[in-house]
């Protein structure tokens, strides 16, 4: 895919991208798929999957109390617990605003550890990484932001996100569709969104503008980007996903580069 070569112009020392079909086949790639990168908040996609597996295994459920008073696992997964971004300070009543929170995912990891008597990294490895053959991926530290992986591993995860083998279809559907619709909030790096749509750990594109995905991506597109200069999106309308990793921290360069890049990728996919 010629559109993928655009990453050569980005201000990062290293970058890699891959486009993945629903059947797991790689439609195109550019860069070293085996190089390890810090994921930053793309980690939340992996962690969310582990939390969802734990729900299916009965460790807890979406309505289990967790976080601030009145908050549940569902609130924490969908960034509606009311927690501050980085501190256990409650800014809003649960379910009233979409307040993006790293600490909420860290509380979820603690909730999982208490319920399973396992460390979160061990549970993630056994529930998600090992079954998918993601041998170069780990989360040692915050379940919100401390993941490390390769594009090769994330290609496998992108295939799982499109055709789940570890989750029931019903769980996957709920995770990838809007939970608590119509809530306003700030999308980090892109400002206030009247409808800051989110699923269970998955950011939903919806009608957000501006946004890191392209204007040609469908509203159903879900995924996450990270402050390390990373993103992963799945567009169900295209039956395709895109994994992109860099070592240049997110900033104005990414706001300028990512949406046009994704539009070029989608346009090339549509023309195939």
Q: What is the pTM of this model?
A: 0.96
Q: Tell me the domain boundaries of the chain.
A: 2-271
Question: Up-side HSE of residue 17: CA atoms within 13 Å toward CB?
Answer: 23
- Rounded to 5 degrees, φ, ψ at 114 are -65, -35
Q: What is the pLDDT along the chain (272 residues), one digit of tens a residue?
A: 999 999 999 999 999 999 999 999 999 999 999 999 999 999 999 999 999 999 999 999 999 999 999 999 999 999 999 999 999 999 999 999 999 999 999 999 999 999 999 999 999 999 999 999 999 999 999 999 999 999 999 999 999 999 999 999 999 999 999 999 999 999 999 999 999 999 999 999 999 999 999 999 999 999 999 999 999 999 999 999 999 999 999 999 999 999 999 999 999 999 98
Integer Rg of the chain from CA: 17
Instruction: Give the model's pLDDT for residue 272.
Output: 83
Greatest alpha-carbon span in the chain: 51
| Angle at 231 (CA atoms; ends 18, 171), nearest 5 degrees | 95
Inter-residue contact 222 to 234 (CB < 8 Å): yes
CATH architecture of 2-271: 3-Layer(aba) Sandwich (3.40)
* Cis peptide preceding 210, ω within 30 of 0: yes
Give 232's DSSP letter: E
Give every CB contact of residue 154 below 8 A, 6+ residues apart in sequence: 18, 42, 137, 232, 243, 245
Measure Cα distances from 107 to 71, 79, 86, 112, 144 in Å: 11, 12, 11, 9, 10
Helix ranges restricted to H, the chain: 43-57, 73-77, 102-116, 120-124, 130-132, 151-162, 169-175, 252-271
CA separation for the pair 109, 59 (Å, rounded): 12
* The token pair that represents 205 in the structure block: 């594109």
């Amino acid at each position: 895919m010629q559109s993928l070569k655009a990453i050569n112009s980005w201000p990062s020392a290293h970058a890699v991208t891959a486009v993945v079909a629903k059947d797991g086949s790689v439609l195109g790639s550019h860069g070293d798929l085996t190089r390890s990168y810090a994921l930053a908040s793309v980690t939340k996609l992996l962690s969310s999957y582990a939390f969802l597996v734990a729900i299916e295994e009965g460790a807890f459920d979406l309505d289990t109390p967790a976080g601030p008073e009145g908050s549940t696992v569902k609130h924490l997964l969908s960034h509606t617990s009311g927690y501050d971004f980085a501190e256990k300070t409650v800014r809003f009543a649960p379910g009233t605003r979409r307040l993006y929170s790293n600490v909420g995912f860290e509380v979820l990891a603690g909730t999982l550890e208490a319920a399973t008597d396992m460390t979160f990294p061990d549970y993630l490895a056994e529930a998600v990484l090992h079954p998918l053959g993601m041998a170069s991926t780990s989360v040692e530290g915050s379940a919100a932001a401390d993941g490390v992986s390769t594009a090769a591993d994330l290609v496998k995860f992108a295939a799982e996100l499109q055709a789940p083998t570890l989750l029931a279809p019903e769980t996957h559907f709920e995770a990838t569709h809007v939970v608590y619709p119509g809530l306003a909030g700030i999308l980090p790096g892109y400002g206030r969104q009247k409808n800051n749509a989110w699923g269970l750990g998955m950011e939903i594109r919806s009608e957000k503008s501006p946004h890191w995905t392209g204007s040609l991506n469908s509203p159903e597109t879900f995924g996450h980007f990270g402050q390390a200069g990373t993103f992963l999106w799945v567009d169900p309308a295209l039956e395709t996903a895109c994994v992109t990793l860099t070592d240049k921290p997110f900033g104005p360069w990414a706001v300028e580069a990512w949406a046009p890049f994704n539009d070029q990728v989608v346009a090339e996919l549509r023309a195939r």
